[in-house]
Amino acid sequence: MLKQHIVGMLVINEKPETLYINSLAVVAEYRKHGIAAYILKQANWMAELLNKNWLELSVSKLNVPALRLYRKSGFTKEKDKRWSFILRKKTQT
């Protein structure tokens, strides 16, 4: 929340060794302000609290801004699918 407005959201799914990011979104007018990067840091923090070794997500190959964000945040390509990449990031645990 920012100024009592919801500007971003995160949907996660807990797996045995992984915290899987199902969805991350930021309202268009609030993009490019570091909100998504902040949300990813919070996801990493949650993964550590839950003793998960990995953060993982799927992203469309065509979503260049998201790919740039995830790579800048330390995610690397785990798997190459037809229309998407599976990206992973090791947590600090």
Q: Is residue 43 a part of any domain in this protein?
A: yes
Q: What kind and span of H or E run contains 18?
A: strand 18-26
Task: Characterize the bridge pairing of strands 76-80 and 8-14.
Answer: unpaired
Q: Is residue 53 a part of any domain in this protein?
A: yes
User: Per this entry, what is the length of the chain?
Assistant: 93
Residue 58's identity, in one-letter code, is: S
Q: Is residue 2 a part of any domain in this protein?
A: no
pLDDT mean for each 10 residues of the chain (93 residues): 90 97 96 95 96 97 97 96 97 78
CA distances from 53 to 8, 12, 17, 56 (A): 25, 15, 5, 10
27: domain CATH number? 3.40.630.30
Residues spanned by the domain of 24: 8-90
What is the domain count for the chain?
A: 1
* pLDDT confidence of residue 93: 60
